[in-house]
Structure 1
Amino acid sequence: MLFSARTRWCLLSGIAALTIPAVAQAAPAAAAPAAAAEPASTAEAPAADPAQGLGDIVVTATRRETNLQRTPIAISVIDPTVIKDRHVQSLIDLADGTVPSLRVATFEARQSALTIGIRGIVPFDQNQTARDTGVGVYIDGVYLGRSQGLNAALFDVARLEVLRGPQGTLFGRNTEGGALSIVTKGPSGEFGGRAVAGVGNYGSYNGELHLDLPEVSNVSVKLDGVVQHQDPTVRNPLSGQAGWNQYQRVGGRITALWKPVDGFSAEISYDQAKDENTPFYSQLVSYNPNGYNVGAYNGANVLTFNGAACNVKVNGVTTNPCIAPLSPLVTVSGGNRMSDADIGVPQQVSVDRTHGTAATLKYDVAPHLQLRSITAWRGVTTDQWDNSGGAHRSIFAPNTNFSRYSLSYLRQTQFSQEFQAVGSAEHLDYAVGLYYFTERAREYAATPTTNKWNATGTAYTINDAQTWNMANWLRQRDSNAVAHSYAAFGQATYSPLDVVHITLGGRYTKDKRRGALTMISGVATPYTFTYDNSRFDPMATIAFDAAPNVNLYAKYATGYRAGGANARSSNFGAFGPEAVKSYEVGAKMDLLDRHVRLNLAGYIMDRTGTQIDFDFVDTNPFLADGRTANPNYTKHTENTRNAPGTSRIRGLEADLTVKAAEGLTLGASYAYTYTNVPATPNTLLPGNPLTQVFVVFTPRNAGSAFADYEVPVGSGDMRLRFHLDGNYADPVYSFQNETTRTDKSFVMNGRIALADIPLNDNGQRLTVSLWGRNLLNESYIYRRSAANSSPTVNNDGSLNYGGVLGDYANFNPPRTFGVEGTLNF
């Protein structure tokens, strides 16, 4: 559906109308000041004082420390308490919908590359050398250029800020949907720390050590180490091979903070992490769902039906159409998540290695002016071994190979430099800066088949001729790219009256990129790519303090994602940038003496140049005559086009927190997201027909709710804490050009903790907890494809039934649970 001008106005004004009764109820208390940033406590955070209501939340979305409720941006904050309660160990644990507008999913079935989306800006395939994300991910202000490595273990997190909507002014390119900012805890200068150890089902264990050393000669040092492990949740029957959905993550970081004189600080950090993981299992959930004729192989291995050869072309028309039979070894799982694979395949762990060095300098040149410099070098390497499908994504044919092993070798390095001046004057707050980013990326890939059927599909053997040794790979593609980005930005907030705040900002960006696709299917190719573009992104916001603790705002902002080239295409096909214009109104309210916090936002986003991926994987093992088996045939093609016209995204968001009683806090969040993308020519089909396309991993309705209750136990600060949360999402599309959708999802998580047990008079405390994720063991499909359920179209327009099998899908993780102890000292 399309929204008329009248409907748009009603959508935006409706949010403002909702605030009218809230304004009338607002308590006449003083407006809350911006809270100062302090080292977060290592203890289990207690509930807010019931006499004071809900406490302040500090964010840095405007490059300065501000109170969440007085910052006119739609922001969700995931703090250490939420991380503990939900047992969040890495970003993939947010895929259950902790923040309804934030969508986290795997690329294909791989945990080694994540797709991050906000407000309907969710790229399908950003996992390449010459293309970018639509949502920026940052660690302590440093942008991460690749999807690979995003699922590394989280270090000592102070908070995760989910900035919803375009952030093109202060955060820059590739933040058209928003930004995910990870803020870690820095050195405190005082001796102390935290040690964590836990065990759980599926052989899981985790450990953390965070150690703050006392300040010496104006230098403070903090050490962080983490390890996380889980055995596979789907077992591999092939002896000696890894299963599916297993991981082993380790990492460490050292941070030093130097304060030689008042007003100057230099923080230098180095981190390194390794994530060994395997993909989620791809299951065949239906066979021949459209009811085509099922053939049989004769003694000459020819597929026949009713005694005649199938799929023979006569004058360009496919006659006697039929599909291949199913091997008796293959299980069609339907809606059931498998715990044991039916076919054993070679499966190694994929290995992601991330490392980085950052230096942040801050100098107070005047009482109300601070200069900052953020310099960072980062890199990621990925050795991908993805054999997730077995026989569930390719048909059975006698004596043919099957099970596509997707292998990839990626190396990326990046450097960024940012200068900021952040200051204040009378009635004016401002931030200006310069930014530079460059990266080099190279990837080559192979797709051997690892298994081979016998003549009847009742047994198979293993092929490993080119599987293990990279030197023997028949490279399906080999690409490289170099990118440079330059930017200048500024943003200022002027308050002509105490209750009116006007913010204006802009960012000029210059992007350059060049690259080459040097090999396709083992053959050297001459394809190159260059991109050179500049852009200005403005932002304007007006905020109004309608009453004490009631803040309203209206915002206009733009953002964009840079253009690039598709390394999976047949010619390194280039595509242009996409851009978004956003109109937003919102309200942030602390009501009933700050016992109720209600934040609302409504937005309209119009996107042009939407980057659409048309993907085609041909698993047909037959030659052109439609009868003779070709055991070495495989083809994977992907093209990217910019959709014509305007894509429309509309949404409503609500966040509610209630301090219901002493020790009891309740909360709920909701996101409604409507998306519509114009039909786009599909260059992979004859005649380039206009094809309906969809936004992936974006539910129309999504919601999350939680309840926290704690009671004192004994004397002192010891208490018993209970947490329960539930997260719902409507079905979503997994592919931009498939009408098939996933299941709806509902996941509950919980935790019981006996917190802050005193161990001695020196302040050492112990917290013991029992946690569970997916408590009800709900099983739902989070990614589904019907690409192999219907015939494909040949270049001459005839139908090809050779690859028809059924829908394949990936399921969410099963229930996990464990016990954990945390020692604070």
Structure 2
Amino acid sequence: MIRKSIFLTSTIFTLSAAASAHAQQTPQFDSGSARSDADIIVTATRREERLQDVPIAVTALGGETLRNRGVASVLDLGTSVPGLAVISSQGTEMSVAMFIRGFGSGDSSQGTQDLPVALYIDGVNIPRSQVSGIDLVTPERIEVLRGPQGQLFGRNAHSGAVQIVSKRPSGELQGDFSAGLGTYNTVQAKGRLDLPEIAGFKFQLSGNYRRHDGYINNPFNPNYTNATIAVDPESHTKFVNKNFNGDFFALETYGGRIAIERDFGDLNAFYSYDNTWAEDDQGYNVLYRSKDATPTIFNGFSSTQLGDISFGNFSGPGGSFVPFTQPLQGKNYPRNAAYGIPRIPFINKAHGHIFNLTYQLSDNLTLKALTGQRTISRKGGNILNASISSVMVGQHEYIKSDMFSQEFQAIYTTENFNLTTGALYFEEDVIQEITSHYAFNCLFGPTAGPSCVPGSSQATTVPNPNAFGPNNFKRSFSDTKAYGLYAQGTYTIGPVDVTAGLRYSNDTKKGTRTIDRLQGIDEANGLGLAIRNRFHTSRVDPALTVKYNLNQDVNAYVRYAVGYRDGGSSVRSTTFTAFDEDEMRSWEIGFKSQFWNRRITFNAAAFDNTIKDPQISIQEDPLGDVTLTNFINSPVDRKIKGFELELSANILRGLTLSGNYTYLKSNKLLVGYNISNATSFVPNATFSPTSGLIPDAATIAAHPGSQILLIGPLGTPKHSVTINADYVLPAGGSDILLHFDWTKTTKLLSGSPEITKTNINPDGSFTPLSGFNPGARTDRANARIAFRRIPLLNSSTTGEFSLWVKNLFDHVDRAFGFASGVNGPSIPQPPRTMGADFRVQF
């Protein structure tokens, strides 16, 4: 009923506001010069402003810049934007995890936890990481806003926001189509078609298709042909009579979009609908080559205990070392899996509607209504440790999110004062199912043997395709309703701009678990009552910015802002209890400048962030079921500080050089967790790489049956640098573009950021557990040569032929890492790929 009434309000708003024609035209930019992206008109403050005039740290990349750099999706942004890191969520290409200034989510796949970096497409929030890596057809630009953006973008933007702005229909016959081939049997095609205006309506059609084979060969295993993986009968995910042979990191995706725009006098109406389908997999784990690594696996299974898969130099009940022969990841890219492993893909689907209204009430006042609806679903499986363990630990996942948002804005502008006010309603319903299982696996073909050692004779035992029996099935729901009121105004006094913002938020998230097999819960069948939790917050968050304009091209600013991320619960926990929001308080100083007729742009920003009550992920049962994790609010604040530098120069005709550098420093969190009552505490302990994490006597006496953890900075590469070079050579009426970019970062922790942990046993003894997370690193170079503006049928139709290569030097980079033993497993980024494509524009 709420959705219908709000949509009816939008309709009334449309019918009541017709007058004289008004259409906003977004300037087009050519990234062939240094000044182009710096002069882009952005909407970082929810109003149109020149990029260099916005008093926050924001980077905008125009459509041609994105094409030159090979940015086909959000994932391709990688670490090329200062302060931003985009990595694959646990190795999948269609689901991404984003970090801004060293803060993000350690488990972005959870539908009951929100993300601290907000993603917007055409003004509508995309709340889930699943299916957020959709391909971009011909975007107008991408804006990356760094630091808390809560006053204008609301909840879950306390690290920053990423905005994707699509091209609007032109009302003229225009087209932009490209197709190409590449290594690994890559096939890609995408295009946009603008139709001539019909009865005042402007239409735009666009679509894309992309596929490539797997990057890592998976040895064929006949046991995986027409195999069945046992799952709970209640699960939405079924694995019956399927062929699970397949190479890793294969992808196929396609999608389409229709956009319609019309002016009714002073009223502009815009509608779009998009639909995406994709199949990908989690990828392949390899063991990182550690200096002191000895390839062994600790198998903690015993006749009375099912569960522990760990790596390192400790022992436990019923456990023993198991030798492992897989080659460690070193300088050479792992082209072949060591053993045949079942490839279980994810099926990703997403579709959504956007309906935006803009009414120019007067020369000074603009009213907007932004309506968005989006549904995503993802189902499939993963074998988390299949490539590195003689016993497979895996999870099957199903998630569906149904989101609706409605926002009303009023934008008032005068010569010395502007004001943006708004009201927002947001709701999201999520269902997520998790099936956790273990399966003994010899040479990674399902067998009936109780246990095995890689290379042993048990590899030839009778296959049992159903050896993946489910160990645990959970079904959880999350229902979010959020309201917001906000206002942000800027007053100009001579060369000084003072901007103040305030937002009121009222959020409620209700969680329900209806099925938990291990806990004996199945409410529908009378097997125990459902577990319920509730998170609620009502708060006001301020921001204040003072900017001093030395002239129209040079300014400096100081900013203080507060933002927050919603609380929630963990779909993987046994208790399914709620945790609270975390809050970021940020100080930032910045300098923006352009020199030499705007041929040189130099921007700098320094910041000091404190995250209060940060949400962290812990293992409930580190010596048992490692798939059981929970989120808690750390009693220790996370502190992150650093600076960012951006430089772009067009010093020679046709030559553009640009680059950026980011430095980040974050503290480590020493946190304790009482397993019995699910509470956190601040322990006292010492740590060294040789002895591990050693608690003092007082901590041991006060907290028996607990664990203490030393948690590193999640998503925080200490150093990251990117260099870009573009050189345009005239060739008659055409030109040749030479592009090169290189990005390098130090280690970025993702997944489980624990440096080490120690269990305090109930009898007062303690067990230090070794841990090693190789994290993610990037050292990648890309190149492209394009023959552009080739005359074709007529003067308005041109072609472009380009050759490209990604990861030019075939460098082995890690995309995602797990904290597990001295040989921490990781998922590699793609190897060197290359190809050619042809583009037609008219």
Q: TM-score, normalised by structure 2?
A: 0.81
CA distance in structure 2 between the aligned counterparts of 1:583 and 1:410, rounded to whole angstroms: 37
SS of the counterpart of 2:77?
Answer: helix
Instruction: Indicate the SS of the match to 1:92.
Output: helix
> Given the alignment of the two structures, is residue 432 of structure 1 paired with residue 421 of structure 2, yes or no?
yes
- What is the correspondence of 1:369-380 to structure 2 with a 5 Å cutoff? 369-380=365-376
Q: State the alpha-carbon separation in 1 of the partners of residues 352 and 25 from structure 2.
A: 24
1:639-788 equivalence runs, <5 A: 639-684=630-675, 687-714=705-732, 716=733, 718-734=734-750, 735-738=752-755, 740=772, 741-742=774-775, 744-788=777-821
- For 1:69, the equivalent position in structure 2 comes to 52
Distance 1:417 1:466 in 2: 48
Task: Indicate the SS of the match to 1:680.
Answer: strand
Calculate the aligned-residue CA RMSD, in Å. Answer: 2.9
Moved more, 137-146 or 568-577: 568-577
Does the aligned pair in 1 maintain the 2:37–2:61 contact within 8 Å? no
Quote the Cα distance in structure 2 between the aligned partners of 1:318 and 1:387.
24
Structure 2 portions without partners, runs of 5+: 1-22, 222-242, 305-313, 443-448, 522-527, 676-702, 757-771
Aligned equivalents of 2:356, 2:303: Cα separation in 1: 67
Residue 151 of structure 2 aligns to a residue in which SS?
coil
Deviation of the 1:242 alpha carbon: 2.3
Q: Is 1:493 aligned to residue 506 of structure 2?
A: no
- 1:814 has 2:831 as partner: yes
2:595 to 578, 591, 594: 591
1: CA distance between counterparts of 2:297 and 2:127? 47
Q: 1:137 & 1:665 partners in 2: Cα distance? A: 29
- Code of the residue aligned with 1:502 in structure 2: it is V
Structure 1 contact 293–321 (Cα < 8 Å) conserved: no
1:541 paired with 2:545, answer: yes
- The C-alpha deviation readout for 1:147-180, integer Å capped at 9, x for no partner, is 1111121232111100000001000000010001
Written as runs of structure 1 = structure 2, the 5 A alignment for 1:274-285 is 274-285=277-288
Does the CA-based 8 Å contact 1:559-1:580 persist in structure 2? Answer: yes
SS of the aligned residue for 2:826 comes to strand
Matched, 1:151 2:133: yes
| C-alpha distance after superposition, 1:704-727 (max 9, x if no partner) | 01111011101x2x1011000110
Paired with 1:758 and 1:236, the residues of 2 have a C-alpha distance of: 45
Matched residue, 2:840? 823
What is the rounded CA distance, in whole Å, between the counterparts of 2:275 and 2:776 in structure 1? 37
Distance 1:664 1:280 in 2: 39
Instruction: Indicate the residue corresponding to 1:9 in structure 2.
Output: none
Which amino acid counterpart does residue 340 of structure 2 have in structure 1? G
| Kept after mapping to 2: 8 A contact 1:242/1:349 | no
- C-alpha change, 1:437 and 1:218, in structure 2 (3 Å) is same
Whether 2:270 is the aligned partner of 1:270: answer no
- Cα displacement (A) at 1:451: 5.9
Contact 1:643 1:677 in 2 (8 A): no
The residue aligned with 2:679 is none
- Assess if the C-alpha contact under 8 Å between 2:260 and 2:270 holds in 1: yes
Q: Deviations over 1:587-610 (max 9, x none)?
A: 110012212100111111111011
What does residue range 81-96 of structure 1 map to in structure 2 within 5 Å?
81-95=64-78
CA distance in 1 between partners of 2:315 and 2:721 (Å):
48
2:706 alignment partner, SS class: coil
- Structure 1 pair 619/678, CA: closer, same or farther in 2 (3 Å)? closer
More off after superposition, 330-339 vs 426-435:
330-339
1:484 to 481, 486, 501: 481
CA distance in 1, matches of 2:196, 2:807: 41
Q: Give the residue type in structure 2 aligned to 1:47.
A: G
CA contact (8 A) 2:379 2:398 kept: yes
> Number of paired residues?
725
How do 1:360-509 and structure 2 match up within 5 A? 360-387=356-383, 389-392=385-388, 394=389, 396=390, 402-449=391-438, 452-453=441-442, 457-458=454-455, 459=459, 463-465=464-466, 475-497=472-494, 499-509=495-505
Report the equivalent of 1:399.
Answer: none
Secondary structure, counterpart of 2:75 in structure 1: helix
Question: 1:681 is matched by which residue type in structure 2?
Answer: G
Q: What code does the residue aligned with 1:747 have?
A: R
* Deviation of the 1:770 alpha carbon: 0.5
Q: In structure 2, do the counterparts of structure 1 residues 244 and 616 end up closer, same or farther at CA, with 3 Å as the change threshold?
A: farther
SS in 2 for 1:169: helix
Question: Residue 214 in 1 paired to residue 214 in 2?
Answer: no
> 1:277 & 1:283 partners in 2: Cα distance?
18
- CA 1:547–1:288 in 2, change beyond 3 Å: closer, same or farther? closer
Structure 1: gaps spanning 5 or more residues? 1-34, 303-316, 397-401, 621-633, 790-805
Determine which structure has greater relative contact order: mean sequence separation of CA pairs < 8 Å that are 6+ residues apart, divided by chain length. Answer: 1
Where 1:692 maps in the other structure, the secondary structure is: strand
Letter of the aligned partner of 1:285 in structure 2? Y
Q: Distance in 2 between matches of 1:111 and 1:231?
A: 13
User: What are the within-5 Å matches in structure 2 for residues 217-296 of structure 1?
Assistant: 217-239=199-221, 240=243, 241-261=245-265, 263-285=266-288
Secondary structure (helix, strand or coil) at the match of 1:565 reads: coil
- Cα separation, 1, equivalents of 2:56 and 2:286: 41
Deviation at 1:656, TM superposition (A): 0.3
Structure 1 position 744, deviation (Å): 4.5
CA distance in 2, matches of 1:342, 1:293: 15
Q: Report 1:10-409 matches (<5 A).
A: 37-38=25-26, 40=28, 45=30, 47-48=32-33, 56-95=39-78, 97-239=79-221, 240=243, 241-261=245-265, 263-285=266-288, 323-326=320-323, 330-334=326-330, 336-387=332-383, 389-392=385-388, 394=389, 396=390, 402-409=391-398
- Measured after TM superposition, the shift of residue 126 of structure 1 is 3.1
Deviation at 1:474, TM superposition (A): 5.8
Q: Could you tell me how far apart the structure 2 residues matched to 1:373 and 1:177 are?
A: 26
Counterpart in 1 of 2:11? none
Aligned in 2, Cα 1:657/1:381: closer, same or farther, shift over 3 Å? Answer: same
Counterpart amino acid of 2:829?
N
